[in-house]
Structure 1
Amino acid sequence: MPAPPLLWDIFCQVVDNHGDLGVCWRLSRELAARGQQVRLWVDDARALAWMAPGATEGAVPGVRVLPWARPIAPDLLASLPRADVWVEAFGCEIPPEFIAASARQTGDKGQNGLKPPVWLNLEYLSAEAYVERMHALPSPVLHGPAAGATKWFFYPGFTPATGGLLREADLPARQAAFDRAAWLRAHGIDWRGERLATLFCYEPPALGQLLRAWAEGDEATHLLVAAGRATAAVRQAIQHEIGLQRLLDGRQQLSISYLPHLPQTAYDELLWAGDLNSVRGEDSLVRALWAGAPFVWHIYPQPEDNAHHAKLEAFLDWLQAPASLRQFHHVWNGVTPGALPTPDLPAWRTCVQAARARLHGQDDLATQLLGFVARKG
């Protein structure tokens, strides 16, 4: 007999609404697709209006988006059944009033016949060695209304000894049915067979250099720029790169389309359309891996201690990146100065598709979470 569905509380504190909220929404949606019930607590859900239209209105069966106010309203807490699983995403902490309300429902030492929730701390994604060491370790709660309980570290990752990556069950079928030309037409993009590059980034130091190389190059390139910081970065680079605007107006080897905010499903399709994708942060990195096209990752910068340098290097090691791809990442992320190497798209594609094949041989994040909760519940 299949296990009965569980009720999950996932807490998301928005720092970067593309990444933190994007991962939590994808996870909530995938758990619901597998028969689970999810309450997604978010302190700022505004980005869901374009990221997942209808999400806050209950358009996805099994997922309820709730406002994470501070404090949470007592009448709301009193009206909710207690969940089977708690998930603290990306270092946020479940508020004490929520924990206290759950403790009252459970009763002293479970006298009300309820098991305590399985409590997970879902961490950031990294390929660094500590992830395998720390994954699935317990963390006793020593203070507060949950004293005596246990949290469990759960680390997404790229190897079988980690928690895996988010991958929807229907993703391969969706990608196999994708029609690039039809998708571009539907989104108003005038594509005439030229190389397609997508750009979702922060402010990469070498952006102006890359735009100039494409504008001066022999092969025509059509750049599809994501809304927000990527659009602002491109416009600023054109303004500050001497003579670049004249090149764009003259040779027209580089054409640029500025995109609106795309729902998550459409962003996946954008990456399927690209011949070269530039992604940033965590969620879009994973989507680029599943897309299987050559990509460059703009890692979230941590300039106070440059901790992102080691994180980038660990990922490139896992990826088994060829020398040109590794050098491109170093210059793109400002790790080393210098000129960007010419992208070797065939070699980069081979590398990415080999990495994707390795990942397909491992259980995805939702599958591993469900298995872990079943063992600990």
Structure 2
Amino acid sequence: MELKTLDIFCEIIDNYGDIGVVYRVAKELKKVFFNSKIRVFLNRLDEFKKINSSVIDSGIQTIDSIEYITFDYLRENSKDLSTSQVIIEAFGCKIPEEYMAIAYDHSDLLINLEYLSAEDWIEDFHLQSSPLGQGKLKKFFFMPGFTEKSGGIIADSNYLERAKKVAMNKKEYRDKYLADIENIDNKIVGTLFSYEKNFIPLIEDLQKFDKEVVLLALGEKTQDSLRKILKNFSIEHFRNSLKYGKIEIRFLEFLNQEEYEELINLVDFNFVRGEDSFIRAVLTGKPYMWHIYCQEEFAHLDKIEGFLDKYRKVIQEFADDEFLDNMEKFFKDYNFRKENNLELGKESYLYFFENLAKIERYNTIFRDFLIQKCNLINKLKIFIEKY
């Protein structure tokens, strides 16, 4: 298929992850299909405005040659808006009926872009078709994952170029984000982005660590968690930062998508949450920890197990069993919870911080494998062109 038109639909619920993925995919597909018309349809704009300061309160607007349209505008003007050849339905969202009524007979391909998963079953489900029961439109499932047989991960060129730029101009980006950290070369600096979490074990273990550590706390849930658990500690307060022994905690204001990507490529380690931030952290090649979204009956731990299995398979010829066992235990302990709250966990952080260089060496191997073999954008391009 020679792609001329592409529409992406995203229904934002209560977080930045969905729009973060869709925004990233749209930008990259515009680079790949630069002569194609690409539109993104969103149920609301609040979260999009947070991650891109160019967004305004308008039913229809163009940003970087991509048209962004609200569901309300679509419904009000459905008779004047044609459908596209290819439709991407992000995360099984409900596309407005006014659009689908036309698309069944006038569009060719509907791709259901699912959430990232590391579980084995997605390889069999990837690119399977699903009958729609009417018209010529065909639907296929696209399953992102960490293997060559899955849909891969979003290793977009915009991000990779940004990471390379940070690596080659470290002083420039230090001046931009970390200029007021004294004696920074003798300190460990990392980001902390989580759901509700009791970080007392982290604070206690970092006091035993042989270096000073600066934690850059991102997001309301992370910052609120830290404030609540530290209220009984002997903390020194400095405007938007706290000092406790060897540890300095800085509360950062919201960063847009580009700023966040620059920061995580600049620091020494990243603790992240959700899907989009996790993949960004994986692609830094730096040490990371993933706070996965909590699900009933510990279903989220199955996803952790799946990821660790894929990670082990890629690096096991380079890493020893002690390393792999310690990292797997850390991932599982960090995420062992029935719900997101401030219940005290059992994880230990010392092995992680004492082996940052080793972790980065192996994480870089895993990152390079994903970029070369599991690039979602490349896989999506090939599937569309072959259809």
TM over 0.5: yes
For residue 307 of structure 1, give the secondary structure of its aligned residue in structure 2: helix
For residue 297 of structure 2, give the secondary structure of its aligned residue in structure 1: coil
The CA deviation at 1:46 is: 1.0
Contact 2:112–2:140 (8 Å) recurs in 1: yes
The CA deviation at 1:243 is: 3.0
Comparing 337-346 and 225-234, the one that deviates more: 337-346
Residue-by-residue CA offset, 1:239-271 (whole Å, 9 max, x unaligned) = 2xx435379977641111111111111111111
Q: Partner of 1:87 in structure 2?
A: 88
Q: Partner of 1:351 in structure 2?
A: 362
2 CA distance for matches of 1:79 and 1:244? Answer: 63
Contact 2:301–2:336 (8 Å) recurs in 1: no
2 CA distance for matches of 1:37 and 1:306? Answer: 42
1 CA distance for matches of 2:234 and 2:336? Answer: 21
Comparing 32-41 and 286-295, the one that deviates more: 32-41
Q: Which of the residues 342, 357, 372 maps onto 1:361?
A: 372
Q: 1:195 to 1:80 in 2, by over 3 A?
A: same
Corresponding letter in the other structure for 2:333: V
2 CA distance for matches of 1:55 and 1:130? Answer: 38
Unaligned runs of 5+ in 2: 313-322, 339-344
Task: Report the aligned-residue RMSD.
Answer: 2.5
Q: Partner of 1:327 in structure 2?
A: 329
The CA deviation at 1:316 is: 1.1
Residue-by-residue CA offset, 1:259-306 (whole Å, 9 max, x unaligned) = 11111111111111121100111101110111110000000101x221
1:281-300 alignment, distance < 5 Å: 281-300=274-293
2 CA distance for matches of 1:265 and 1:185? Answer: 16
Corresponding letter in the other structure for 1:40: V
The CA deviation at 1:363 is: 4.9
The CA deviation at 1:4 is: 5.0
Q: Does 1:121 align with 2:112?
A: yes
Corresponding letter in the other structure for 1:129: D
For residue 293 of structure 2, give the secondary structure of its aligned residue in structure 1: coil
For residue 191 of structure 2, give the secondary structure of its aligned residue in structure 1: strand
Q: Which of the residues 211, 224, 242 maps onto 2:216?
A: 224
The CA deviation at 1:91 is: 1.8
1 CA distance for matches of 2:360 and 2:12? Answer: 33
Comparing 49-58 and 270-279, the one that deviates more: 49-58
1 CA distance for matches of 2:179 and 2:206? Answer: 19
- Normalised by the length of structure 2, the TM-score is 0.84
Q: 1:329 to 1:189 in 2, by over 3 A?
A: farther
Residue-by-residue CA offset, 1:4-51 (whole Å, 9 max, x unaligned) = 553211111112432111001100111112213221111122122231
Q: 1:158 to 1:276 in 2, by over 3 A?
A: same
Residue-by-residue CA offset, 1:60-88 (whole Å, 9 max, x unaligned) = 3331111123x9424x1122232011111
2 CA distance for matches of 1:324 and 1:136? Answer: 35
- Structure having greater relative contact order (Cα 8 Å, sep ≥ 6): 2
Q: Partner of 2:233 in structure 1?
A: 243
Q: Which of the residues 62, 67, 82 maps onto 1:64?
A: 67
Contact 2:162–2:261 (8 Å) recurs in 1: no
For residue 46 of structure 2, give the secondary structure of its aligned residue in structure 1: coil
For residue 123 of structure 2, give the secondary structure of its aligned residue in structure 1: helix
The CA deviation at 1:333 is: 1.1
For residue 322 of structure 1, give the secondary structure of its aligned residue in structure 2: helix
The CA deviation at 1:367 is: 1.8
1:1-377 alignment, distance < 5 Å: 4-34=2-32, 35=34, 36-56=36-56, 58=61, 60-69=63-72, 72-74=74-76, 76-103=77-104, 106=105, 116-142=107-133, 146=134, 149-178=137-166, 179-187=169-177, 189-191=179-181, 192-193=183-184, 194-205=187-198, 207-239=199-231, 242-243=232-233, 245=235, 252-302=245-295, 304-320=296-312, 322-334=324-336, 338-342=346-350, 343=352, 344-376=355-387
For residue 127 of structure 2, give the secondary structure of its aligned residue in structure 1: coil
The CA deviation at 1:371 is: 1.4
Contact 1:280–1:298 (8 Å) recurs in 2: yes
Contact 1:322–1:347 (8 Å) recurs in 2: no
Total equivalences in the alignment: 355
Contact 2:8–2:39 (8 Å) recurs in 1: yes
Q: What is the aligned-residue identity percentage? A: 28
The CA deviation at 1:204 is: 2.7
Q: 1:161 to 1:100 in 2, by over 3 A?
A: same
Residue-by-residue CA offset, 1:303-361 (whole Å, 9 max, x unaligned) = x2211010011101111272222122122112595241411212321221111121122
Q: 1:249 to 1:12 in 2, by over 3 A?
A: closer
Contact 1:319–1:351 (8 Å) recurs in 2: no
- Normalised by the length of structure 1, the TM-score is 0.86
Corresponding letter in the other structure for 1:184: R
